[in-house]
């Protein structure tokens, strides 16, 4: 799935799986998230996510924001679910990433969980992937808990990320 930001409007368009796997991490980067997260919803509303780790089979469906704040125990559970499954290492995922995913989930009104293909990557895992695949950034946002590759069953993959109205 790829989301384009034109103000607070989200547009979903088709893309090949190959291009998707190369380009979506940039769309989920930290730079784009605050703009969409700010328009998310009132600070008093509950926020929840349904996440499924494609590689481990683990799933978590939880409210992660309530009463005006993040719920640390749930964030830790999400961090574990989004760990580097190759190295079995975790990091703190930037909470605004969860807000961004929540916003997307609301926009598409999916009844399915987000299928997480890749989230946190240790520097060692990222280096190995760079050796084997094109399109893996040396300084990937994945290494900082600021990116996630995902898909949602029933939704087509789309054309690459857009930042500030310009296609990357």
Mean pLDDT lowest among 96-100, 140-144, 158-162: 158-162
Q: Are 159 and 2 in contact (CB under 8 A)?
A: yes
Nearest to 117 by CA among 159, 81, 93, 88: 81
Adjacency order of strands within the sheet including 69-70? 69-70, 59-66, 47-53, 114-118, 149-151
**pLDDT band, residue 17 (cuts 50/70/90):** low
User: What SS3 class is residue 12?
Assistant: coil
Over residues 29-54, the pLDDT tens digits come to 544 445 455 444 556 689 999 999 99
Total-model pTM: 0.69
**Interatomic CA distance for residues 158 and 15, integer angstroms:** 3
Instruction: Find the helix packing angle between 95-108 and 72-81, rounded to 10°.
Output: 80
């Amino acid at each position: 799935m790829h989301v384009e930001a034109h103000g607070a409007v989200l547009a979903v368009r088709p893309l090949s799986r190959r291009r998707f796997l190369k380009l979506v991490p940039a769309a989920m980067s930290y730079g784009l998230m605050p703009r969409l997260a700010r328009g998310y919803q009132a600070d008093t509303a509950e926020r929840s996510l349904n996440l499924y780790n494609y590689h481990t089979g683990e799933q978590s469906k939880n409210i992660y924001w309530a009463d005006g704040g993040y719920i640390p125990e749930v964030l830790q559970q999400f961090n574990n679910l989004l760990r580097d499954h190759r190295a079995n290492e975790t990091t703190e995922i930037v909470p605004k990433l969860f807000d961004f995913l929540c916003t997307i989930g609301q926009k598409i009104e999916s009844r399915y969980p987000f299928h997480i293909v890749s989230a946190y990557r240790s520097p060692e895992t990222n280096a190995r992937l760079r050796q084997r695949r094109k399109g893996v950034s040396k300084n990937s946002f994945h290494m900082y808990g600021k990116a996630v590759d995902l898909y949602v069953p029933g939704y087509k993959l789309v054309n690459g990320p857009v930042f500030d109205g310009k296609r990357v």
